[in-house]
Amino acid sequence: MSIIISETIAFFCCLMYASFFEWTLHKYLMHTPFWQYPFRAHALVHHGLFRTGAQYFLPDAKVIRKVRFAWWNAPFIIILHTPVILWIQRTLAVDIFAGGLSALILYYFLYEYLHYCMHIPKRRWLETTAWFRWLDSHHHMHHKRHFNNLNVVLPLADIVFGTLIPAKDHMALPDREDGATQVGLLLSES
């Protein structure tokens, strides 16, 4: 029973940690020209294509691959964390590997899926939920003010580091129905 408890605690701790990892990666690698690859791919290309208002949605079917990270990013990030989780497990002498790794994989999946849904509306059930609408509005503001609202999945780090723009100060979201129609037409033509 103690294994279930320790793995569950590790899962939730790693979910919270992932918010801070996402925030740090987003701010210091993707929006600062420290390392050209992530800066160019995200700040210049992604933010150049996906702006605010109606330009928040997919502008051209040819750039659909600019919504997600490169295929190798997920394995790289997970492999990067694996020895650290194993070291913490060994140091604490408690089982946390499965819970910790599961949380990081889930967080990465949620990042990619939610971000994709935000920029490529398709009238999914998820897009109608209050939770998604709030996260979507949060992310839409990031496309207006690049050093704010850096979290996509769990804005815990935005709250802690003071980069959260309160919902009352968000710009109006573009109409997702119009966006879904626009995206549907673009994708049917390609």
Range of the domain at 174: 2-189
Q: What is the pLDDT of residue 136?
A: 97
Cα-based angle 187, 189, 190 (whole degrees, multiple of 5): 70
Q: How many other C-beta atoms lie within 10 A of the C-beta of residue 176?
A: 22
pLDDT at 89: 97
Answer whether residue 188 shows pLDDT above 90: no
Residue 57 is predicted with a pLDDT of 95
pLDDT tens per residue, range 65-120: 999 998 999 999 999 999 999 999 999 999 999 999 999 999 999 999 999 999 99
pLDDT confidence bin for 139, thresholds 50/70/90: very high
- For residue 1, what pLDDT is reported? 54
CB 17 within 8 A of CB 77: no
Half-sphere CA count of 134, side-chain side, radius 13 A: 11
7-65: pLDDT as tens digits? 999 999 999 999 999 999 999 999 999 999 999 999 999 999 999 998 999 999 999 99
Instruction: Give the number of residues written for the chain.
Output: 190
Q: Which amino acid is at 54?
A: A
Q: What is the pTM of this model?
A: 0.94
Q: What is the dihedral of CA 171, 172, 175, 176, to 10 degrees?
A: 60
Report which DSSP code applies to 59. -
Q: Where are the alpha helices (DSSP H) in 26-155?
A: 36-39, 47-49, 73-92, 97-119, 130-142
Give the chain's domain count: 1
